[in-house]
Structure 1
Amino acid sequence: MQRLRQHRASWLLGLPVLTVIWGATTYLGAPRLERSLVTAADRVVETTGAVGTEPWLRVETRGRDLIAKGEAPAAEARASALERLADVAGVRRVVSSIGIVEEVSPFAWIATRSTGDQIALTGSRPVEIGRATLAGSLKADLPEAVSLTDESKAARGAPPDFLAAAHFAVARLRLLARGAVATVKDTTLSFEGEAVGVAEYDALRTALANPPLGFSIGHADILPPTVPDFHFGIERGRAGGLVLTGYVTSESERARVRALATEAADGAFVDDRMRTARGLPASVDGAALARFAFAVVALLQEGAVEFDKDALGVSGYALDAQAVGEVDALIRDQRPAGVAARPVALNVRPLSPYRVAIRREAESVTLTGHLPDVAARERLLIALRPRFFRERIIDKTRLAAGAPDGLVRAFEVAIPNLATLASGDLSANDRRLVLTGESLYPASASRIDATLPGMMPPGWTALARVQARNPTERRDAETCRSRFEVDTAARHLRFEPGTTTIRPDFYPVLDNLAVLAKACPDLRVTVTGHVDPTPPPNAVKPPAPAASAPEPAPVTKSAPPQAAKEPPKSVKESGKDAAKPASKSSKAASASKPDDKAREDEPPPDLPRLRALVIVEYLLQAGVAPDQITAVAPEVSDAKRSEMSFALR
C-alpha cells in the first residue's frame, strides 16, 4: 500500500513537467502547422483560376480552421474546392462562405468614400475581372494615402467597358467629401455627395458633362461647398453689358440670375463669372436678393451693385438725375429681409450715347430710353397713335437732358415706315437711327432701305435693315375656292346700327380672308355692305354717322402706304355707281319735300357702300392686293340684306 502511494505521488510530481513539454511543443509547432496549412490551401486556390486569370477562391486560416470565400463559377467547382481543402493535412474544419456567380440585372457596382482615406467597394463586379486586378487598376487614380476595401461579389451581366466607368467614378470621389457615393448601374453613372471645395465643384461639373463613351449621367446630387465669404455682385459697363461676380447657391439659381441678367442687358453682353457655393445667410432669400440687385442695376448708367457680409452697396453713375433718388428709395424701403444697407455712392453725368427705341410686336408698341422733356414725349405719342391704334402703346421712357437736335423729328418721319412692318425696332443712338424688322412685301422692304436715309433731319444718319417675310405657300384654285366657302359661310358680320366701325368679331374672319388672299393670288372677292334692320315701332333710332370719310379700321398687319391711302379704281367706280341711284332718290325725296323729322331719322342712303369700303380698306392694309378685293353695291333683290356679304367673281 505504501508503495502504491509513492507511485501516485511520483506521477503527480511529473504533471508540471508534462505541461511544460506540451506548451513548448504547441508554441513551437503551431506556427509551423499554420504555415503548412496556408501553403497547402494556396495550392488549392491556384487551381481555381485558369491560366492568366485571377483565382476565384480566397482562403483565410484561423488556427487549424480554413475560411473559404469567393464566388465559384458553378456549384460543381465550389464542391470540388471544398473537398480539396478538407483533404489538407492538419485541417480541423473548413468554413465555407463561397457563393455562386449569377447573372444580375440591373448590374450595380458602388464605391463609397467611407472615410477621408478609404473607399469601400460593394455590389457586383464583372466575373471576368478579379478582385485584386480591379483594386490594382483603380489604385492608380488615387493618392497613396487612400486605400480600397473590396466587398463586391463577382457576377455576370456587367456593361461593356465597365472598367472605364469604374475609373471615372473613383476619380470623381476624390473631389467629394466623406460619405459621397458613386454608382455604376448598367450604363448609367450616378453621384451623391458634397464637393470639398469650389474648384473641385467646378471640376466635377465639367467632368460630369463628359462621361465615358457608352455611359450616361443619371442622378447627380452634388452639393456645392460652403464658403465663409459668400458675396454676390453685378457690374454694368458703359456700353450696357453686365458682369456677374461672386457666388450663387445652386445651378438652378444660376439659371435664374442669368435670365434676369439677359433681360437687364437688353441685347448687350452678359459675362458670367459666378462660382457655385453655399454660405448665404439663412435669413436672406437668394432669389429676392437677385431680383432686387437687378432692379437697382437697371437704374445705373455704369457702376456696380455688391452684396457682401450681409450688406448691399451701390456705386458708380446713375442712369439720370432722377435715378439717384429712386435708388435711395429702393434701398431704404424695398431691400430684402436680412440685408443691411451701405451708403449709396452715385454720381450723375450727361447721357452718352443718348438712346431711344421703339419696338413693334404683335399686340404692342413699346418705347424705351430717354427723351428731353414731356413735350417731346407727347409728340412721339401723337405720331404713334394714328399708326398703331389697335396695338397697346407702352411708354417706358425717362426724361434726361442731352438729347441731340432733331431727335423727335427723326422719329416722326421714320414711324410711318415702322408701321408698315409686321414687326421691327426703331432705335436712335445719338444722331444715328436704325430701323430693323420684317416687312410683308419685298417691294416695301427695298423702298424703306432706299428712302429712309434721305428723310433724316440735318446731321442725322439712318440705316434700314428690313427683310421681306417669306412668301406664303401658294394653293391651287380648287383649294382656294373651298377654303373661301368655309371661311365665309355662316359668318354673320353686322355693323352696329348707324355705324361703320368694325366690331371685334369681324377680325378673325377678315384676317383669315387676308391670309387666304395672299396664298391665292388669283382669288377675286367682292364685298357687299348691308342696311340696318327695320327697327320696331316707336324704337329710339341711333344717331346717323358723320358724312365724312369712314373711320379707319384697326389692322393686324400693315400694308404699304400706297395700298392703304385709297381704294382701287374698281372700288371707286363701284362707289360712284352706287352713289348715282342714291342721288336720284335724294332728288325725288327733295321734290316730294317729306317731313324734316322723318328725314333726320333715316340713315345715309350710301351706308352699305361705306361699310363695304371700310372692309376693303382693312383688307388692303392687311396685305390683300388691290386687284383682289372690290366693294360692290347690293343687288335690288339684296337691298334689304342685314349682314355683310362676300362672294367670288
Structure 2
Amino acid sequence: MRGLIRWSSKWWPGTIPLAAIWALAAWVNTTPLETELAGRSTAALKDILLDKSKITVSGRDVTLAADAFSEDGRRNAVAAIAAVPGVRLVNDETRLIPEAKPFVWAAERDVVRVTLTGSSPLPATKSKLLEAARADLGGVEVVDQTSLSRGAPPRFDEAALLLLGQVARLKDGKISISDNKISLSGMARELGGREAIAAALKNLPAGFSVASNEIKAPPYIFQANKDPVASTVTLTGYVPDNNARTAIVAAAGRKFFSEKVVDNLKTSLGAPSGFSNAVVPALGALSRLSTGTLVVTDREVKLSGDALYDAAAGQLRANLIKDFPQGWQLKADLSVKPAAAPVDATVCQQLFSEVLSKGSIRFESGRSNIDADSAGLLDHLIEIALRCPANNIEVAGHTDTDGDGPANQALSEKRAQAVVDYLVRAGLPASRFSAVGYGSTQPIAANDSDEGKARNRRIEFVVKEQS
C-alpha cells in the first residue's frame, strides 16, 4: 500500500499538461464553429423586425436576446435560429417592448427647437418622423426623445406626418396624438395659420379625430409710422383684403398732404370687426402729429407722438375714440412738439405758401363743411400762425367758374369763415383773422379743365403787415 501511494504521487503532475492540451484542442475546434453559427443565426434574423438584438454562441448552443414588437415576432425569431444547421439549442432571452396605454406621441415647439416625445411603434417610424420634422421645419433644431412602444393605432405614421407639417405653422405650441385623438394648442406663426391648420386636419386618416384645437391666431397688427425727416408715412402689417388695402392707402394719401405713403401691407384673414372703420380715422389722427406711430392691435388703437400744438393733443385724446366702431379702445401717448421760434411777416407768409402748395383744404362738394381729411394740413397752418402772433391774417376763399357768380361768392365767403372758425377753436384769437370771399374773380389757372378748376378752388392765407 505504501508503495502504491508513492507511485500515484509521481503520476498526478503529469495530468496537468494533458488537460491543457485537451482544452486547447477543444478551443481550436469550437471557436470556428461558434463564429460560423453566430453568422448564420444573424443572417436568419435579417427579415425579422427586432430591436437591440444580441446573439451569443457557446458550442452549438445559441442565446438570443432582443426586444420584439409582437409575440409572433418573438416566436419567429427563435424558430429561425433553431432552424439554422448546426444549432443544438436556442436559449430564448427575447422580450416584448413595452405596450403604451394610451399610445401617446407629441411634437412641441418653443422659441429655439422642436421636441418629439412619447412613443413610436417601430424604429423605421421613429427615423421617418425625425427626418420629416427636420425637412418640414427648415433648419430648426429637432430633438427626438421618443421611445419604442407597442399599441400604436392603425395609420399612426400617416397621422403623425400630417401633424408634423402643421408644427411648421406654429410660433410655439404642442400637437399630440393620444391613441386616435388629436390635441393642439399654441400660437400660429402667421395670420391665416390657424385656419390653414384647421383645413389640414380635415385630411386626417380614417379613425382619427380632433379632441381639442386651441391654436390661437397671432395679434392682427396694422402699423403706420410718420417720419418727418424722410417725409414718409410707412404702412405695415395686415389688412383684410385688397379692397381694404386700396381704400386705406387712398385715405392715407388724402390725409397726409406732403408725405409719401409707402405701402408694405399684406392681406390676411383674422381682422377684427370694424377694422377699416377704425384705421381710417386713426390715420387722420396720425396726420395731425409732427412725428408719430399708430399701432392697431385687435380692437385697440395706440397713438403716440408729438402734436403740433397744445389744443391738438387735447382734441385727439378727447375726440378720436368717438370716431371708432363700438368696442374699440384708444391709448394715446401724446406730447407736444416744442414751439418753434417766432418769425416775421415775410417768413410767415412764405411758410403758409409753402404748405398750401403741397395740399389744399378740402370741403364737401358745394358746401362749406371742411373735409376731415384736411385736419393734418390745417394743424400745420395753425402751427405757422402761432409763430407770427403779432400779425393779422386774411383767410381768402376762391372758387372756380362753375355755377353763377353770386353763389360762388357766397360759397367762397362761407368756406373762408369755416377755416377761421377752425383756427379759433384751436385756441387762436379771433381778432387776428378775417374771412374774405373772392368767388371766381381771382383764378390762378384756366377754368377749361378739371385740373384747372381744382386749382382755382382754394383757400389762401395772406399775412398782413401791422399798420
TM-score normalized with structure 1 length = 0.31
- Which structure carries more relative contact order (alpha carbon 8 Å, separation 6+)? 2
Larger Rg: 1
TM-score scaled by length of structure 2? 0.40
